[in-house]
């Protein structure tokens, strides 16, 4: 068998394997959307969930997921940004930084249920935060920090050294070079990774079962004071997210239309995650073209 024929066979096998992966993905997404989208409507998105009667929605669960996502990013982004800058621009090749990188790798490989149990023991029990949005956001910080840190580090490292040398030749300090030249150049990659991490957070369930809780008490959406118990902005209230709601409906719900609620909720979750992923791709390409045109 000559090299040309071997190359064609290997290429065909690779395309076939890729086709299988794509077919599996399309079939899974198609099945969920086909069964769930017909039951998604404005009433479903804006009404409260029902425990015993049919016709409930996911208003509170959808808001809780978005609110928890915002809090988790507010906590994790500054930490990940600082760690990524250090590892990319300041870290030297020694055992201390090897330990840091190894710790990040180990943390990124932890199952989410382990992170949830750790959050339950530390945040809910020891720190007495109870089942709350804040406890869930901090637990998701442990879960999301390694991926976000690695993304920022790689985005900064991908900036050519010529840009750093240009900053030095202009008399800029190391920090000025990073903030005025390196970070703006790495912004498309950082934003893309941030949006992808958002999709991962939005679909998380196991870690939140033990930290944010499995109940969604009625809240007052007209009350903007986060220090009152019934305010929708109160970070210390328990909050069932959309992913947890899907799990709960499939395992514990006694509502007559549990299968309909589960299918429609799954469709909403998939659609939001697809928006995050497609938005990350679109935004990254747009920023990259804009920066390329500016050069």
H or E segment to which residue 88 belongs:
none
Beta bridge partners of 220: 231
H or E segment to which residue 37 belongs:
none
Residues 6+ apart with CB under 8 A from 66: 202
Residue-wise DSSP of 67-90: HHHHHHHHHHHHHHHHHHHIIIII
**Residue 33, in any domain of the structure:** no
Q: Which domain holds residue 82?
A: 40-294
Q: How far is CA 131 from CA 121, 140, 204, 292, in A?
A: 11, 14, 16, 47
**What pLDDT does residue 197 have?**
84
**What pLDDT does residue 120 have?**
93
H or E segment to which residue 1 belongs:
none
- For each of the chain's 295 residues, which pLDDT tens digit applies? 677 788 888 889 999 999 999 999 999 999 999 999 998 989 899 888 887 777 888 999 999 999 999 999 999 999 999 999 998 888 888 888 888 888 888 888 888 888 899 999 999 999 999 899 999 999 998 888 888 999 999 989 888 888 888 887 877 777 888 888 888 888 888 888 888 888 888 888 888 999 998 887 778 888 888 888 888 889 999 989 999 999 888 887 778 888 889 899 999 999 988 888 887 777 777 776 776 665 5
Q: Among 106, 108, 104, 136, which Cα is nearest to 122's?
A: 136
Separation of first and last alpha carbons in the chain: 49
CATH number for the domain spanning 207: value is: 1.10.3720.10
Q: Which two tokens stand for residue 24?
A: 């599996």
> Would you put residue 7 in left (φ > 0), alpha (ψ -120 to 50) or beta?
alpha
**Residue 152, in any domain of the structure:** yes
Residues 6+ apart with CB under 8 A from 261: 49, 56, 58, 249, 253, 255
Q: Are 117 and 210 in contact (CB under 8 A)?
A: yes
Q: How far is CA 251 from CA 116, 169, 245, 254, 255, in A?
A: 19, 63, 10, 9, 11
Total domain count, the chain? 1
**Residue 22, in any domain of the structure:** no
**Residue 11, in any domain of the structure:** no
**Residue 63, in any domain of the structure:** yes
**What pLDDT does residue 14 have?**
92
> Look-up: residue for tokens 């029902």?
50
Q: Among 237, 179, 177, which Cα is nearest to 212's?
A: 237
pTM of the entire predicted model:
0.87
Could you tell me how many residues make up the chain?
A: 295
Q: Among 21, 69, 63, which Cα is nearest to 45's?
A: 63
**What pLDDT does residue 249 have?**
87
Q: Among 189, 188, 110, 185, which Cα is nearest to 143's?
A: 110
**What pLDDT does residue 78 have?**
92
């Amino acid at each position: 068998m000559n090299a040309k024929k071997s190359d064609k066979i290997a290429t065909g096998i690779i395309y076939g394997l890729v086709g299988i992966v794509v077919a599996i993905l399309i079939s899974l997404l198609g099945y969920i959307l086909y069964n769930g989208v017909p039951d998604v409507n404005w009433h479903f998105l804006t009404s409260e969930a029902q425990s015993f009667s049919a016709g409930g929605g996911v208003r509170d669960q959808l808001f809780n997921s978005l609110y928890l996502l915002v809090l988790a990013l507010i906590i994790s982004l500054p930490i990940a940004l600082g760690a990524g800058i250090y590892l990319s621009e300041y870290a030297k090749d020694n055992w201390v930084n090897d330990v840091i990188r190894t710790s990040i790798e180990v943390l990124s490989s932890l199952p989410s249920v382990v992170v949830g149990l750790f959050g339950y023991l530390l945040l809910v029990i020891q720190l007495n935060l109870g089942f709350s949005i804040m406890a869930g956001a901090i637990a998701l910080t442990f879960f999301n920090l390694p991926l976000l840190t690695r993304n920022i580090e790689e985005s900064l490292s991908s900036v050519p050294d010529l840009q750093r040398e240009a900053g030095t030749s202009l008399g800029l300090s190391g920090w000025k070079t990073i903030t005025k030249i390196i970070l703006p150049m790495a912004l498309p990659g950082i934003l893309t990774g941030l949006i992808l991490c958002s999709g991962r957070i939005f679909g998380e369930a196991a870690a939140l079962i033990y930290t944010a809780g499995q109940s969604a008490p009625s809240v007052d959406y007209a009350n903007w004071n986060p220090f009152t118990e019934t305010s929708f902005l109160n970070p210390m209230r328990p909050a069932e997210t959309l992913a947890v709601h899907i799990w709960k409906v499939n395992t514990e719900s006694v509502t007559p239309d549990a299968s309909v609620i589960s299918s429609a909720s799954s469709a909403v979750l998939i659609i939001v995650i697809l928006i995050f992923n497609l938005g990350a791709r679109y935004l990254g390409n747009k920023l990259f073209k804009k920066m390329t045109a500016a050069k």
